Amino acid sequence: MVNAILTGKIHRASGELGYHVLEAMHGFHISSENETHYLMKSTCVKPESLPAGFLFSAETSKS
């Protein structure tokens, strides 16, 4: 999220993605309880991939 703020990009932890993940977890429960498939109702935009070496470059920039 900090990288997104510093670069002016949209951060990956959006409310839309959070809601979609929450619905998926809830859907697992419903599906298991009812022994049926759960059809997701929400959608979200897939976040852009982090650049290769992102974590390594973040760790080395601390010094």
Number of domains in the chain: 1
Each residue's pLDDT tens digit, 22-58: 999 999 999 999 999 999 999 998 887 877 887 765 5
Q: What is Dmax (Cα atoms) for the chain? A: 53
pTM of the prediction?
0.65
Closest CA to 40 of 19, 14, 60, 13: 19
Residues whose CB is less than 8 angstroms from the CB of residue 35 and which lie 6 or more positions away in sequence, other chains included: none
Q: Please check whether residue 20 is in contact with residue 43, taking contact to mean a CB–CB distance below 8 angstroms.
A: yes
Domain span holding position 49: 2-60
